[in-house]
Structure 1
Amino acid sequence: MNKTLKVMTSAALLAGVVAPVAVTTVDAANTKNIVDKVLYVADDYDATDLNNPNNLIIRADDMDITTTGDTFRLSLPSGVNWSDGYFTEGKLIDKDQLTVVSRTDRDLELRIEKKIAKNAGEYKVPLYFEVDGAEGDIKVTVDPRDSVLSGGQYTIAVIGGGKTTASIASVKTIKDGGQIDDMRIDETSLGALYNGGAKQKITLTLPSNFNWDKSISPSNISLGGGFTEAGVIDVKNDLTVTPKDNKLTIEFKFSKQASKIGTFYIKGLKIDADKRAEFGEIEVDLDGDKVSSATIVVAKYGDFGTDASLKGDVPTLLAGRLTDDKKDVETVEVLVKETVAGSWLPGRSVDVEFPTWVKVLGVDVSDAKNIKDKDGNNAKVEDLFNSDIEGKSNEISFDLPSDLKDTDSKREFKVKFYVSTKADTEGDVTVKISGRAGIEVAETVVAKVVAPVKVETEKVDVRTGIKEQPLKDIVITEAVKGALLDDKTVQLKLSNGEFTDKKPKITVSEGNVKIKEDSINVDGGVLTFEIDGESTRASKIVVSGLALDLNRSVPEGEVTVEVGGDAIVQNSTFGDDWALYKAFGKNDAKFGDTTFKYDAKDPEYDLSGKVDAGEFDRDYVVKKAVATVVTPADGNATVVPATFTIGSTTYKVGEVEKTMDVAPFVEAGRTFMPVRYVAEAIGISQDNILWDQATQTATFIKAGNVAQLKVGSKTLTVNGANISMDSAAKVKDGRTVIPVRFVAQALGASVNYDEANKTVTVK
């Protein structure tokens, strides 16, 4: 016989297999005809031996039935016959109210022997019939013949498919020795399992490497439906249950046929697994003398462990944000549950870890289930978490209660975290749970962090020792509306040098954030301004007109600006203030189940070190390069080879391509170049090139050496000593040009000329 794989819940079966069917009635002028119950029967159903069949009831409705001797006919469809063992000609039925006149396979003719009064009397015809090939609904047809009865068709039975269905309430995940949920074997039709009183068996077979627990007995079986009727099954003497390895045999017999569909309930079954048993679904094969063979998934075999799932969408948080609004620091909720009951071990450690750029401010634990102490009291999981939360670490550690009560049900709880994140870090906030208690959760993303603002600008080249060197516009764009907090300050802080003491122009080019105009202030290397109204549309702020003052001690490289301030970053150390105090004032700082108490005498929110709860030593979210120092400070010159091409205004310093206003040229075997570019090539800053217009004399200073030459003169003076040249400095196209080799070598540089490529390299 073919086997079908079935996984059905109790609810599904109740809805689809044994759903009650409405009684069939027809309203008529004379009688109301009713079938008292519609049977579900097998395709070989025989009601002959039933003590309590269903009935066709004919009630006097609008009139008394006063005529006796009238006949009427009841007809069955093809494939259904009247039982010859009950309906015999001349037999009185229904308390002698009716007589069987004749019976064929499909037609039954009855005669009325007694009168009945309207709204009080009725005729009852027991429906003894046999099924022989019919399918679907079985209907009886009432033909009134010469009587005053009302005619019509009425459903008396429905023919089912198999004899039984098997189901389990739910598919549980179990460990070795675990108990599966309740099973059920239902007849699909009346008398489906009845076999005349002979013994029969139902066998439940597990896969190899699984065995039924030896303690299973008849006490694990209970009866339902028609099987509970007196005298149907003698449970004490005629029902046995035998577990042997992977087979469970239920042996029973019927003393008589039930009048209703019956059910076997099988409860409390336990399954043992050996070392070779594989994790996954456990299927049971159901076979027997009369039951329909089937395969049903009864459980999942799993290893000890923990499952974690997110109960909502992963939120996006702003880096450095810390306010009195929980949503600014709240992660998604995580459901943590055992994969197998008993996975979590009492008295063992649990370690919760976040990235190093995260600090845990609190937790919110809810819906804890089956986490009880030995007395059955619920353990407060939130108290366990809070025992190690100080707001200063990315880790939490605690122990499960040592008196944790063992249970057959899986433990679980939901938890969301409240976190403070380092201002200059973006990325996924992950949580990882581990430890000896058996609660193992791989890294799970519970929030995403983005910078509150994006900063854009273009770098400019600047030189040491020069003031008011203009910078490009700095554009600050909010990542979301309200990213810049009202009544707070935005700060731009230089890494080197100072801003020129001149008020820049700050405008809002997009969105509707408000700037407090009179708050704009430049103080050395720091520019600040205040927000006068949070945006309801993400906004863009443009800072224009900034300039840079550099002294001669600034090293080569980038000059950066740090963009921060408490309008953007709220979890900085803030000097003498505390982040939680700035956010909550004199109120307690509450994050879910975690509370930091305010103490007027010591308002430091549980301080024990230099960094307080939720704080980081970072007061900016973005560091952006605004300039590049292209000339080194005195004494720190780094000579980069410079390459010039005869006749070309394009040259290279290192790998950087640049342009000059007068091209190098060769005259009398000497290469001439403008003074400015010769100085750059040999590493002399612009402020160390002096020009005396009156005497037409150029002076070069490098590393304590001084070189001078005069337009029209072939004498080069180095530290007071005269050196003769074969070519003199001259003026060309309004620019003073000098012979490169003499000046370069006099100040310690080397010059190489490539005849083939017409290039001069100075280094």
Structure 2
Amino acid sequence: MKIRIAKMLLVLMLMAVFIPTSIYAATENEISDVTVISINEPIPTGDSYLSIKDTDGDIGTDRQTIRLLLENAEWTPEEQWSPYEFRYYNNGFLVANGNNFAVSFTRITDTRMDITFSMDPGDVGRETDEIRIPIKALVSSVGDASVEIDSLNSVVSAGVYAFAEGIKSDAIVRTGEKTIFGPRTTAKLEEIEIIEASVGSISMQEAIRFRLTPGFEWVENASISIEGSDGFEGSTEISLNEIMTGEREVNFTLEEIGMAHSGSSERGKISLSDLELTTSGERFGDVQIITAGVLGDQRLTVAEYMDYTTEARREGPKTTVYAGRFNQGAGEGFELAPLVIEEKVFASMSPGRPVDVAFSDWVKLTRVDGVATEEFQPGDNAFTFTPERDETGGKLKFEILVEATLHPDSAGDITASVTGGGIVEPLEAILGEAIQPLEVLTEPVILVAEDEENLSPEITLRETSYRALMEGDLEIILGVGTWGSIPEIMVTEGDIEIGDISVIDERLIIEIVADSSAASEIKVSEAPVVVEGLPAIGKYPVSISGDAIVTNNIEPYFEQEYLKRLEVLEVALNRISKAEFKVNQPYYLVDGEQFELDAAPYIAEGRLMVPVAHVSRALGIHRDDVLWDADAQTVTVQVETTQVVMTIGSDVMSVNGEEEDMGASAEIVDNRSFVPISRFARAIDVQYEWDAEEETVIFTK
């Protein structure tokens, strides 16, 4: 025993040696800002930091050593680094700069830097939960540059993070979201920024040029604003035609528009506002600006020209709604995600023409806000409103809030369909999802009239989420018979609280006195069921109902009182579990009880043949469901929804209209119709096995 323990300890020690401690790392790392810069230009200090945040306090006061490896970049020389350029934060606020006690670093190669840091308040001088390491590097070539954290033996999380994009141009051009516009309208663009790729890379005399893609032109009388900042100073407002050299091209120098260098060590930035463009063509799609001159060859998507288009969309995440209930009081629905109907292009909708918003029949609306509905009543599954433009004459946009309650059977996406109002094609938006509050697990049982052995099925009720069952009564209702006694009921998972339990005829009533804080499970054991008289042979349901699960069964909403109805009760003439037929034996056995045959089973073409008249008795099929047609020479057997038709002299049977091979022909012997019992039993889904030694087939049900 001591040897075994020693071996286990040795294994654990070896694991501790060979498993890197970074497996247990728990820091959040990110780059503060991805910089766009000319290749071989140093990233200005402060433009980009690598943030390491000790979210769970795993670093504590222990010193951490990490290795930073660059891809497509080189570290600046070590003499250009200073501990004071490191930053310490606490809860997002700057609390201290680095110092010689808290930070040290060694530039091993052009692409490798080893950094040791402390977050001990005694070293930093303040409580801290984050260090930001300056990215002091030069991008080597065009494309992304990244830094990889090698955790070494620290608790810092490993990872790779892009921090810059290298370009060859002397300037960077960027803008905001593209502007959407359509026929007979203009597009006012988002602000365009021109930023020096390095300090002084744009001179006052160099041409700044950009042109539109073919098919589009500038609105030449537009008044635009140009403003310099950081390394540039000055501002002006001019008509766009003053700097145009054609319908599509703009060309100017900073000197011509009155800009100057500010003397700052920062990269200069020029901002152009209120640029407008238009088109008289039908070239739908993205509109780009193509740069030239000092800006180099860059392409910037600034607008999208599209045909008349209206959009219907969901704002925010879709709402999850339990089926079969109101939110709080009677008539109060659940709020779905907002529905936004918006013109993407001006005049896509037709003011004055009604817009219809419809949902599936299993969705009933309780309230609609955001538009003036026409003749809407709670309980409708649709509403209508008529759009009108306001005094600004801008594009139409409607944000509509809808509350709804759902049919107990419902599940799946709650989709709004939008038509009318000049909208060419129906629009759809998914505003929520219907979910069933309960999963019900059970198995079918057989009930026999006046049989004291009748038992209800064992039933498991499993909440799909917490609070799926509400305070109130949960009812389990038998579709045939009555409860003979109260079954044992247990909460097997979760913390839902059950109160009084009672039975009234076919109803089992379980009081829910407190809903759950974690998804719960209730198990209902078997209990005696009383079946009196002679109910029709066939299947009956067990229904899950009660105001703990269904509350919207009132006018003008839904009529259904139950959440689920499961066909798991089967009334039979007797409780057959096993039937046995033996070759050349003039009787058969049902659960050990012997029944005479006036014609013994036999084997034909390798199949056991038995008289159809006895099939119903042996397999529990009612004699009225076995029909003989003398003219057509057919035997028809109906078992629930399955109909089997066999023709004398044919080895093919029809199962719900589909032909299947029987392996042997049906035939008449001693005035009895014989059929291959194995293929027939398979068609009606009865299990069987063949005992070759005893020449006996055994059916189980």
Q: Give the TM-score range, shorter chain.
A: 0.5 to 0.7
Matched with 1:617 is 559
Correspondence for 1:181 among 173, 176, 189: 189
The verdict on how the C-alpha distance between 1:222 and 1:472 changes in structure 2, with shifts beyond 3 A counting, is: closer
Q: Any residues of structure 2 matched to 1:464-503 within 5 Å, and which?
A: 464=449, 469-486=454-471, 488-495=472-479, 497-503=480-486
CA contact (8 A) 1:648 1:663 kept: no
Indicate yes or no: 2:526 matched with 1:544: yes
CA contact (8 A) 2:476 2:543 kept: yes
CA distance in 2, matches of 1:256, 1:492: 84
How far 1:542 sits from its partner (Å)? 0.9
Correspondence for 1:431 among 416, 421, 433: 416
Indicate yes or no: 2:497 matched with 1:514: yes
2:614 maps to a residue whose letter is: A
CA contact (8 A) 1:360 1:389 kept: no
CA distance in 2, matches of 1:701, 1:321: 43
The verdict on how the C-alpha distance between 1:203 and 1:192 changes in structure 2, with shifts beyond 3 A counting, is: closer
2:386 maps to a residue whose letter is: D
Indicate yes or no: 2:157 matched with 1:172: no
CA distance in 2, matches of 1:21, 1:476: 63
How far 1:571 sits from its partner (Å)? 0.4
- Structure 2: 5+ residue runs without aligned partners? 1-33, 47-166, 263-267, 603-609, 627-667, 678-691
Q: Say which structure, 1 or 2, has more relative contact order (CA 8 Å, 6+ apart).
A: 1
Classify the secondary structure of the residue corresponding to 1:535: coil
The verdict on how the C-alpha distance between 1:286 and 1:562 changes in structure 2, with shifts beyond 3 A counting, is: same
The verdict on how the C-alpha distance between 1:164 and 1:648 changes in structure 2, with shifts beyond 3 A counting, is: same
2:215 maps to a residue whose letter is: N
Matched with 2:367 is 362
The verdict on how the C-alpha distance between 1:555 and 1:340 changes in structure 2, with shifts beyond 3 A counting, is: same
CA distance in 2, matches of 1:296, 1:405: 30
Classify the secondary structure of the residue corresponding to 2:567: strand
Q: Would you say how many aligned residue pairs link Structure 1 and Structure 2?
A: 460
Indicate yes or no: 2:601 matched with 1:661: no
CA distance in 2, matches of 1:319, 1:184: 50
Identity %: 20
User: What's the CA shift string for 1:640-699, capped at 9, x where partnerless?
Assistant: xx9933378997xxxxxx9541577999x9789xxxx99993867999xxxxxxxxxxxx
How far 1:560 sits from its partner (Å)? 0.9
User: What's the CA shift string for 1:707-755, capped at 9, x where partnerless?
Assistant: xxxxxxxxxxxxxxxxxxxxxxxxxxxxxxxxxxxxxx9xx99354999
1:240 maps to a residue whose letter is: E
Matched with 1:124 is none
CA contact (8 A) 1:239 1:253 kept: no
Indicate yes or no: 2:407 matched with 1:406: no
How far 1:247 sits from its partner (Å)? 4.1
Matched with 2:218 is 212
Correspondence for 1:559 among 540, 555, 560: 540
CA contact (8 A) 1:431 1:445 kept: yes
Indicate yes or no: 2:298 matched with 1:330: no
User: What's the CA shift string for 1:56-112, capped at 9, x where partnerless?
Assistant: xxxxxxxxxxxxxxxxxxxxxxxxxxxxxxxxxxxxxxxxxxxxxxxxxxxxxxxxx
Matched with 1:368 is none
CA distance in 1, matches of 2:244, 2:451: 100
CA contact (8 A) 2:356 2:419 kept: yes
How far 1:306 sits from its partner (Å)? 4.0
Matched with 1:240 is 242
2:445 maps to a residue whose letter is: V
TM-score, reference length from structure 2: 0.53
CA distance in 1, matches of 2:412, 2:189: 44
CA distance in 2, matches of 1:234, 1:449: 55
**Larger radius of gyration between Structure 1 and Structure 2:** 1
CA distance in 2, matches of 1:516, 1:331: 33
User: What's the CA shift string for 1:3-23, capped at 9, x where partnerless?
Assistant: xxxxxxxx9999xx9x9999x
Matched with 1:447 is 432
The verdict on how the C-alpha distance between 1:427 and 1:301 changes in structure 2, with shifts beyond 3 A counting, is: same
CA contact (8 A) 1:507 1:541 kept: yes
How far 1:182 sits from its partner (Å)? 5.3
Q: Any residues of structure 2 matched to 1:35-434 within 5 Å, and which?
A: 166-168=173-175, 170-176=177-183, 177-181=185-189, 188=196, 192=202, 194-195=204-205, 204-213=210-219, 216-217=220-221, 219-220=223-224, 240-242=242-244, 244-247=246-249, 254=256, 265=272, 267-275=274-282, 277-279=283-285, 281-288=286-293, 292-307=296-311, 310-324=314-328, 329-363=334-368, 382-385=370-373, 387-401=374-388, 405-407=392-394, 412=397, 414-434=399-419
How far 1:272 sits from its partner (Å)? 0.9
CA distance in 2, matches of 1:178, 1:702: 77
User: What's the CA shift string for 1:574-631, capped at 9, x where partnerless?
Assistant: xxxxxxxxxxxxxxxxxxxxxxxxxxxxxxxxxxxxx32xx20100011112321233
CA distance in 1, matches of 2:408, 2:470: 15
CA distance in 2, matches of 1:565, 1:391: 23
CA distance in 1, matches of 2:585, 2:463: 46
CA contact (8 A) 1:239 1:251 kept: no
The verdict on how the C-alpha distance between 1:484 and 1:220 changes in structure 2, with shifts beyond 3 A counting, is: closer
How far 1:356 sits from its partner (Å)? 1.3
Matched with 2:581 is 644
CA distance in 2, matches of 1:299, 1:701: 75
2:372 maps to a residue whose letter is: L
User: What's the CA shift string for 1:485-516, capped at 9, x where partnerless?
Assistant: 22x22222333x32155444444344343333
- Structure 1: 5+ residue runs without aligned partners? 1-10, 23-159, 365-381, 574-610, 633-641, 652-657, 688-699, 704-744
